[in-house]
Structure 1
Amino acid sequence: MPEGDVVFRTAARLRAALVGKDLTRSDFRVPRYATVDLVGQRVDSVGSYGKHLFIRTLDVTIHTHLRMDGEWRIFHCGQRWTKPRVSARLVLATDEVEAVGFSLGTVEVLRGADEHTAIDHLGPDLLGPGWDAAEAVRRLSAAPDRAIGLALLDQRNLAGIGNIYRSEVCYLRRVHPATPVGVVPDLPALVDEAHRVLTAAAHQPPWRPLVYRRTHRPCQRCGTALLARLLEPTGADADRIDQRERGIYFCPRCQPAPSA
């Protein structure tokens, strides 16, 4: 699943292509919005919050979420698309370019005044100008028995982290992902690490993983073979977290398992 850094860079590309331009075509390939016509409207801004992306005109906000497989690509008008046309869910065109959202998990059109409803439930945005580390720590600390590897995935605590960066952050802080939040040695430092890592990935790509998808390769600190395990959720987490998101990567020596 694309994480906050990917969405942040996607917003920057769409901003450069669309902001200040009048739309000459809008094609919503979502039944609920099939009749929406934004031709003639000017794109005022494009922004992101965690994994959510917003394209704004004077009248409406287009809210999209990439989910597992979504992607935005930009083409010159007349250029052949590089992904199957059947997977396009939204097309926004100007005189010069076509911005095409492929396999988007969420597409909705909101009144500008209602944009907040898409993100009111989320924690602080790791890549936003209003990043609030103390609030992120407060939200994480509200469930001290929850595994930190699961808590970091919960966008209600802090927005933007997915499976890649939860593995990376836990590794950098030498914290086993199954460690309960309440016994993480320095939770504020871990939150600061998350902010540092995601900011670096967003502004200085590509991020070169230290542990993610490096199973059986040597740890860059101690040489121990890295492991991948399913971090099995319990209670409410069992219903909330997708099986594909549970695999987490770590060093068994640098990140010792918490005591029972």
Structure 2
Amino acid sequence: MPEGDTVWRTAHRLHRALSGEPITLSDFRFPEIATADLRGAVTTEIVSRGKHLLHRVDSGLTVHSHLKMEGQWRVERVADTARWLRRADLRAAVGTDTWSALGLRLGLLEIVPTSREGDIVGHLGPDVLGPDWDVERAIHRLLASTTVIGAALLDQRVLAGVGTLWASESLFIEQIGPWSAAADLAPERVEALVARIHRLMDASRHHAVQSSTGVRRRGEEHFVHARSGRPCRRCGNTIRVSMIGPAGRERTMFYCPTCQGGIAPGDDGRPQRPLGSSGGRSNPYRRA
């Protein structure tokens, strides 16, 4: 699922293409809003809130979308739009006389009064990349969490925008075990963790390739994320992956047992194939 930095970059690209211009193309392919027509309205701004996209127009409406696992918004010139409109996975098209924004495989799409945006994003915690980012509030929410730190980072009600990539990478860099109880961590460690997350995501939002190592060459971008079965860049032992979070909402967490305080509670310790290796396909639990 795209994380906050990717969604921020998407909002920035859409805003540059559409803001200040009248909408001339309005095509929504979600049943609940299939008859909506925004033609004639002017885009005032497109912003991100955590992993949510908010496209505001001067008629007092907001197009709210969420990319979920596979969604994306593309920006194409009007001359190239027709072929995209024929795609079966197109869910929305909003355009001007110059540019078209094309929403593919969107996980959620709705139109709401701009005055009611709080109903859909008001529950979110501090947005790591938001203009109202509040470090102290973020630290307080993490320390007040009743779950483990890895799950707390992934809870959008605690912090908005963090996903499995930045949770895994930041916890590894700060040498914190993902299954450590959040409330038991020293405040200074949580403060360092929050600062690390903000630095990583703030730097990443300006690049198409997400990197925590500072290197954007393929295969060298991350310390632990998607590297299960491969050697740790710090200690040389094997990176592992296990599930984290409440039942029904588990997410994958990559970690180094040696650098981060031991093996996960649900990890049986059996060898895990590197992702993408023969027979492993995309299953992070495929074992040798």
TM-score by length of 2: 0.82
The answer as to whether partners of 1:227 and 1:252 remain within 8 angstroms in 2 is yes
Q: Hey, what does 1:238 align to over in structure 2?
A: 247
Cα RMSD for the two superposed structures: 1.9
The amino acid across from 1:215 in the alignment is: S
Alpha-carbon distance, 1:203 to partner: 2.3
Q: 1:169/1:75 Cα in 2 relative to 1: closer, same or farther (>3 Å)? A: same
Q: Hey, what does 2:69 align to over in structure 1?
A: 68
The answer as to whether partners of 2:66 and 2:107 remain within 8 angstroms in 1 is yes
Structure 2 distance, partners of 1:84, 1:40, is 23
* Count of matched residue positions in the alignment of Structure 1 and Structure 2: 251
Q: 1:83/1:154 Cα in 2 relative to 1: closer, same or farther (>3 Å)? A: farther
Unmatched segments (≥5 aa) in structure 2: 212-220, 266-288
Q: 1:126/1:42 Cα in 2 relative to 1: closer, same or farther (>3 Å)? A: same
Q: Hey, what does 2:193 align to over in structure 1?
A: 190
TM-score by length of 1: 0.91
Q: Hey, what does 1:254 align to over in structure 2?
A: 259
Alpha-carbon distance, 1:48 to partner: 0.5
The amino acid across from 2:89 in the alignment is: S
Alpha-carbon distance, 1:259 to partner: 11
Instruction: Determine what percentage of the aligned residue pairs are the same residue.
Output: 39
Alpha-carbon distance, 1:116 to partner: 1.9
Q: Hey, what does 2:88 align to over in structure 1?
A: 86
The answer as to whether partners of 2:179 and 2:264 remain within 8 angstroms in 1 is no
The answer as to whether partners of 1:175 and 1:184 remain within 8 angstroms in 2 is no
Q: 1:113/1:27 Cα in 2 relative to 1: closer, same or farther (>3 Å)? A: same
Unmatched segments (≥5 aa) in structure 1: none
Structure 1 residues 29-50: Cα deviation after superposition (integer angstroms, max 9, x where no partner): 1111111111111111110010
Q: 1:255/1:138 Cα in 2 relative to 1: closer, same or farther (>3 Å)? A: same
Helix, strand or coil for the counterpart of 2:53? strand
Structure with higher RCO (Cα < 8 A, 6+ apart): 1
Helix, strand or coil for the counterpart of 2:233? coil
Alpha-carbon distance, 1:217 to partner: 2.0
User: Which of 50-59 and 183-192 deviates more?
Assistant: 183-192
Q: Hey, what does 2:129 align to over in structure 1?
A: 127
Instruction: Choose which of 213, 216, 219 in structure 1 pairs with 2:229.
Output: 216
